[in-house]
Structure 1
Amino acid sequence: MSASIESRVVESGADDYVDEAWGLKEQIRREEGVLRQRRGFFKDAYRRSTVYCYVESGPKAPERLVGFAAVRRDGYILFLAVSPDHRGEGFGEQLIAQVADNHSSVTCHARTTNEPAIGFYRHLGFEVKRTIENYYEDGGDAYYLKLGASSGITECLSRLLS
């Protein structure tokens, strides 16, 4: 019997998978130099968000978080991460599609130097709305991105789900 991957939703106020999400985020930070947040900030924001998750489980292995998107009530994506082992399998796109399916507007920030993330978001139909200097604690700049700003979120969502 092989492992399976399931979609799950952690409602605001809960902390299911928060430690696993922190671990995944920290793995990406160490390997790629992005997703730098303080643990207290991360955990507080996670608990105040709705978190869309993909979790891998198998008959002889513990559950493992494959990816997650922590989202505020207004559709702003606070954190989005997919395990490097599962990139290119569509989990990031599906996470964005879930967010878009539940919100009339989907926005986020991305570090201006994080070219893979910016390429990913643009591929999905996000547009850079503005640049914010010194956005991050370390002085890094960010782009503020919005999904479907010119083509409409419904069109973007149907493209993501097809």
Structure 2
Amino acid sequence: MNLFCHKDSNLEITGFMGIADNNLEMLFINPESRGKGIGKELLMYGIEQQKVKRVDVNEQNAQAVGFYKHMGFHIVNRSEFDGTGKPYPILHMELKC
């Protein structure tokens, strides 16, 4: 997995993402830095430079689902359980071409 960070003018990490095999494996933004376009900036870098095409999202995370839909992803499948077998439905999303 490759990790990418976003830093502010004080060189403090404000967000990061992990990418593996064209999958966005994680995207985290510091709560104090949300709403400033950092997630969009990181994701656009992932799409344009790292060829991200897919992301799995917890169905209950409406904010994340909405963000990825806004960024051009659509739901292609749904799993009843997460990767550890717990009953947390996962939405499998892909970038529209």
Partner of 2:31: 84
Partner of 1:141: 89
Q: Report the alpha carbon displacement of residue 67 of structure 1 after superposing the two structures with TM.
A: 0.4
TM-score normalised per structure 2:
0.88
Give 1:66's match in structure 2, choosing from 7, 14, 28: 14
Alignment of 1:72-151 (within 5 A): 72=20, 74-137=21-84, 138-148=86-96
Task: Determine if contact 1:55/1:67 at 8 Å carries over to the other structure.
Answer: yes
Task: Determine if contact 2:24/2:52 at 8 Å carries over to the other structure.
Answer: no
Q: Which has the higher strand share?
A: 2
How many residues of Structure 1 are paired with residues of Structure 2 in the alignment?
96
CA RMSD of aligned residues (A): 1.5
Question: Which structure's relative contact order is higher, taking Cα pairs within 8 Å and 6+ residues apart?
Answer: 2
Q: Report the alpha carbon displacement of residue 104 of structure 1 after superposing the two structures with TM.
A: 3.9
TM-score normalised per structure 1:
0.55
Task: Determine if contact 1:76/1:107 at 8 Å carries over to the other structure.
Answer: yes
Q: Which has the larger radius of gyration?
A: 1
Alignment gaps of 5+ in structure 1: 1-48, 153-162
Q: Which has the higher helix share?
A: 1
1:34-57 residue CA offsets vs partner (Å, 9 max, x unmatched): xxxxxxxxxxxxxxx111211235
Alignment gaps of 5+ in structure 2: none
Task: Determine if contact 2:58/2:88 at 8 Å carries over to the other structure.
Answer: yes
